[in-house]
Structures are given as structure tokens and as C-alpha cells.
Structure 1
């Protein structure tokens, strides 16, 4: 299977907020072909599909040669997973050509809410499958909080139906949760055929988000992310601690990763310059051209 490179549009969410179509044009000019959508303007909270009609958005994708292969679709903090209108979400994304819907973050902190979340993911995943779409859960770091001998993430994996729920592994967030992302990828097998690729600054302790002190406070998820994750933690690809040669040698050997997706959360400099450099690093990595 040939691994394709994608861009999660959260990388340029501020730019999308200001100029949706102009930002897509720049993404295409840089050389990205595959895009993972975000559904809403984060400054207004409105869905882009409420601002622009779906046929107009799809026409723009086609004009620019952009394939919207997946979309991140979540719920606001405090809302239940099933509160969203999933029938509408599925229909809208199918109209845009998306093959997959990804749930980006569940605010889980203990065993019971994790098991309930798993059941809700099963229901949404079944609905997606019936519509001919794949459904994924996307991790951050808090899912790797341990409950006894296991983690919340492992509970999600064990209690979701492999036929209906897959996983989009964010490799750097796995590191920040204290796990080895490549080992986890091998365990998941083809339940994880899409990954997110960030890079972490060399000044960052990759597991510092779950020190003993933060573990005690980890029921307050947003406090973890505001106190233990700093704006300059994430850097442009190839400038941090990720070993791209080793990582992509293993990913290529595994053979089941369909999409390696750039997600640049860094806040230094011009974002279009950043994601352009990221694409260069990814092209070399996927093709095995990076050498020590």
C-alpha cells in the first residue's frame, strides 16, 4: 500500500477563519493534494457549511485538485457525543467526498466515562459504516492516563468494535502520554491506517505532561493542556526530537498506513512557510530519502 501525505487543516485554522477559500488555494499551491477537514470556524463557532454551500465548497476542492479524504467532527466540551446530529454530519461530509469521519477528542478521565464513550463510539461508528464511511477516534495525551494496569486508551480499544471503530494515532501525543507510538501502532495493526505527524521541540520532556503531580489533577483535562502544554512545545517537522528516518522506515515496513497527516500546531512564524517545509520533510520521509 502506498502511503499518502495529508494536511489536517487545523494547522491553518486561524487562516481559514479569516479567508477559507484563499487559505485552501495557498494549501494547494504549496503542493498538498489530500486534506483532512475541520468543520467549524473557531472564532465564530459556525460550521463552514453554514457559511458556504456544500456544492460551492466541493467545487472549490475540485478546482484546486484537493481531495478531502477525512473530516474531524467533534462536540463541544460539556456536550455528549450523541448530542451531535450525526446523520447530518455524515451526509454533509459524504457530499464533500470524505471517506472517513474522525472524532478528535473525548473528555474522559476515568473508567466509567471511558466505557460509556466506547459504547457511544460504537453507535456512531455503526452509523458511519451503514453510510459507507470509516469512523476513527483521534487521541491526545490524556487518554494514556493509567487506571490500575491499563490506560483509558486501552479501554477504548478493547471496548470498541473493530468492525466499526478505527484509530487515528497522533504519534507525538502518544509520546506525551508516556507510551511508545511505534509499539502502539504495531499492536493496533490495521485498526490504525491513518496517523498524525507533529514534531516536539528539543527543549520539551516528551512525557512531562504526566508527571506524578499532573496525574493527580488529571480529572481537569483542560487544566492539563493549559498548564503542561506550552504554545512553543510544537515545532516545524524535522526541527525537533522526532526521528523521521527511523519512524518512516518502520511505517513503510508495516505497510498498512494509508495517510500520514501533517498537523502543525506550532505558533512561530508564517504558517504557510511552516507547512511548506513540513511537506518537504514528509515527502523525503515517506520516500525514505532522509539519511542520518
Structure 2
């Protein structure tokens, strides 16, 4: 049985979160999630730990752009230390050449080295375009092969599937670098509309891979669509709990 803790990416409830963060975090906790992955810098640093305490959640990670890490490192570090976070993922990048992606990989290495002094690890989160070849290589493989071990690979299952990749195969390719994994549902016929377990992805096999062969510490659900996200994240967790029952 899957024993890993399950968090929700706050972006799943973005309209609620950005308007009333405490309400969003309480909804996440009431749904039964163990933690939350934050994104952006919508609120003052001091507010984040207070919100998490009141909601009864732990911070499972934070999506942070590479520019913020390079140009606003001190404030970024302060926010993460304030909530006890040990995992930052860069959520987006794009380049039109393999050389551009290799240069980005070096930026990740440099930022990861700085963060490691404070007990924080850095990773990269994919969208669909990382699986479309650039100069005969996929950007995902370029990032993987040109970053050092401390840089983890936060595979987003739905984004990978949308890009034409097999998310299970990608997990198996780099098992010891999947520190956190984004469980995003995807269906060829319905896109990102289904909840986890209502789509086309091989959830049991992917979760078994994370549990048995990977170095995964957190499973993080992310729901992309804006229509009825509260119900979708509840149904997603209900499905996952059948695979990982509570003690």
C-alpha cells in the first residue's frame, strides 16, 4: 500500500486561495490532505506560518521562479525558512535551443548549491513542452542530464502525458530524483478536466514506482481546471486513499 504523505498544490484552488488564503487552506485540510505546496508571493512573509498553523497543514514545498531565486534570494529564503520548507521547485522555463536549456540547468545547479547551505533542495517542474524535442533532445532529458544529483525532478504526470510522454516511464528513468511528484490527472478525451482516478493515467503503477523504487517524500495533487476544483481535489484524494489507506 502507498504510505507516502499527500499534499495539494494551492494553485488547484487559486481563485479561493488568492482571495481568502485561510479558507483555501482549511478546505485543503478538511479534504484530508497532509500538507500544501505553496506558489508565488501573494502575502507577507509573516502571514504564511500563521495561516499554516491555523489550518493545521505543513508546507510540502514551494513553487518559485528562477528569477526570484537569483534576484531576490534573501527574501525567498526568509519565506521558506519561516514555514519550515525544505523543497523548492522552479515551475516553468522555456528556451528554443538545447544550449538554452543547458544554460538553464547550470542556473539550477548554482541556485541549488546556495539553497543547500540552508537545508533546502531545489527541483524543476515540467509542463508539456519539455517533452517536445529541441535540437533532437527533449528539454526534460537535458535538464536531468545537466543538473547535479541534489537537483530533483518534480515530474508532473498530467503535463508529461499532454506532451506525449509516458509519465510512468519518466518516473522509472530517474527514480532517485523524484523527491516530490505532481499527481495531475489527464485524459486524451477530456484533457485536465477529470479528477485523479477518473482519467487515463496508470495511477497504481506510478504510485508503486514512487513508493518502492524512488526517493519520493511527497505526493502532490494538482488540479488544473477552474470548474468545481473543490469537488475535484476531494475526489482525487478519495481515490488515492483507496490506494493508501490511513492507519
Q: TM-score, normalised by structure 2?
A: 0.90
Alpha-carbon distance, 1:81 to partner: 6.7
Asked if structure 2 preserves the Cα contact closer than 8 Å seen for 1:236 and 1:278, the reply is: yes
Alpha-carbon distance, 1:159 to partner: 1.1
Partner of 2:234: 276
Measured in 1, the distance between the counterparts of 2:43 and 2:68 equals 20
Partner of 2:48: 57
Measured in 2, the distance between the counterparts of 1:2 and 1:32 equals 13
Alpha-carbon distance, 1:83 to partner: 5.0
Measured in 2, the distance between the counterparts of 1:82 and 1:67 equals 22
* 1:177 is aligned to 2:172: no
Q: Deviations over 1:119-177 (max 9, x none)?
A: 111111111101110111111111122134421111111111113x1111111211222
Structure 1 gaps of 5+ residues are: 41-46, 205-231
Corresponding residue SS for 2:240? helix
Q: TM-score, normalised by structure 1?
A: 0.77
Asked if structure 2 preserves the Cα contact closer than 8 Å seen for 1:198 and 1:234, the reply is: no
Partner of 2:29: 28
Q: Deviations over 1:65-114 (max 9, x none)?
A: 20012101116xxxx57653122201211111111111101122211211
Structure 1 residues 174, 202: closer, same or farther in 2, change over 3 A?
closer
Count of matched residue positions in the alignment of Structure 1 and Structure 2: 245
* 1:285 is aligned to 2:243: yes
Match of 2:43 among 28, 48, 67: 48
Match of 1:251 among 185, 203, 210: 210
Measured in 2, the distance between the counterparts of 1:81 and 1:107 equals 16
Match of 2:189 among 192, 200, 203: 203
Measured in 1, the distance between the counterparts of 2:142 and 2:33 equals 35
Q: Deviations over 1:30-66 (max 9, x none)?
A: 22221101123xxxxxx312xxx51x43123123220
Greater radius of gyration (CA): 1
Structure 2 gaps of 5+ residues are: none
Asked if structure 2 preserves the Cα contact closer than 8 Å seen for 1:39 and 1:72, the reply is: yes
Match of 2:113 among 121, 126, 135: 126
Q: Cα RMSD between the aligned structures?
A: 2.2
* 1:68 is aligned to 2:73: no
Q: Deviations over 1:183-226 (max 9, x none)?
A: 2212212111211011123515xxxxxxxxxxxxxxxxxxxxxx
Corresponding residue SS for 2:174? helix
Alpha-carbon distance, 1:286 to partner: 3.3
